[in-house]
Amino acid sequence: MGQLLTRFYQRQNARALMELAPARNAGEQPPLPELDRTTLLQALTIVGNYIQQKNRQVTVIAVGGAVNTIFLQSRPSTHDVDFYNNSLSVADLRLVAEGARYAAQRIPQLNEEWFNNHTIFFIPHDLRSTLTQDALTQNAVIFHHGGLKLLAAPWNYAFCTKVHRLSNAGKARPYDLNDAVHYIHRYLQTHRISTVSLATVQEWFTTYRILWNAAVEQIIARVNATYRAQFHVNYNVIA
């Protein structure tokens, strides 16, 4: 009976995940609009109010551009708010989806995918709980209003994913290097240290099952150089 209930829950949870991560067919969708900080805060406030009206409190963990645009303010805009939280119930996932649709009906710039959990499908199943707990422990609050709280994903995880994409020349985006620099800077600030060893960064990659190769080491050198210039230090922060 317990196994049947677990399978039922997994099926229900999968449907809820897909409700927040609608499929996009290449060539059929227009480019996603750019959303600035003001628009994102307005939209998230609407979602927070919606959830509060339902007498619920929901915490989600944001990754990527939303963190940079809202919290770090290192980018002027982003396409969406991408999140995960492996501890959310099906009811909470659906409540977030309803709140997101409610906001989209009131803000013309928003499309149906502006608040989504696409990223969950790229996180290995057995790392989802760890990454959720690490974000809760880190407790970097990027938004909190009404019934909605957004936390930043672990800074070291965010850093590794950016470096990985930078190491794949065909997939890298213009803002990735700057994002990586800001993530490692925030990690150092959070832990009150000025440098982190290359061996530690390699351990992060192993933990998150991200490939480490010569291309990654070249990106690390670029991160060091950009960090030195941007934060006016004369040493490598990763050494």
Q: Is residue 26 included in any domain, yes or no?
A: no
164 and 120 within one domain: no
Given this model, what pLDDT does residue 230 score? 97
83 and 169 within one domain: no
Collapsing DSSP to helix, strand or coil, 227 comes out as: helix
Contact predicate 54/88, CB 8 Å = no
117 and 67 within one domain: yes
Given this model, what pLDDT does residue 147 score? 98
Q: Is residue 81 included in any domain, yes or no?
A: yes
Q: Is residue 237 included in any domain, yes or no?
A: no
Number of domains observed in the structure of the chain: 2
Given this model, what pLDDT does residue 30 score? 61
**Residue found by looking up tokens 């995880």 in the block:** 157
d(CA 158, CA 2): 36
Given this model, what pLDDT does residue 102 score? 97
Q: Which of 131, 153, 175 delimits the end of a domain?
A: 153
Structure token pair of residue 205: 């990659």
Containing structural domain, residue 214: 157-231
Q: Is residue 223 included in any domain, yes or no?
A: yes
Q: Is residue 214 included in any domain, yes or no?
A: yes
Q: pLDDT, tens digit, for every residue of 79-90?
A: 999 999 999 999
126 and 65 within one domain: yes
Q: Which of 99, 123, 153 delimits the end of a domain?
A: 153
192 and 214 within one domain: yes
82 and 133 within one domain: yes
User: Is 0.75 topped by the overall pTM?
Assistant: yes
193 and 105 within one domain: no
172 and 137 within one domain: no
Q: Which of 153, 186, 213 delimits the end of a domain?
A: 153
Task: Report CA dihedral (162, 168, 174, 177) to the nearest 10 degrees.
Answer: 40
116 and 14 within one domain: yes
139 and 57 within one domain: yes
Mean pLDDT of successive 10-residue stretches along the chain, which has 239 residues: 34 47 50 91 98 98 96 96 95 96 96 92 94 97 98 98 92 95 98 98 97 96 98 97
84 and 10 within one domain: yes
113 and 200 within one domain: no
d(CA 211, CA 201): 12
d(CA 53, CA 29): 33
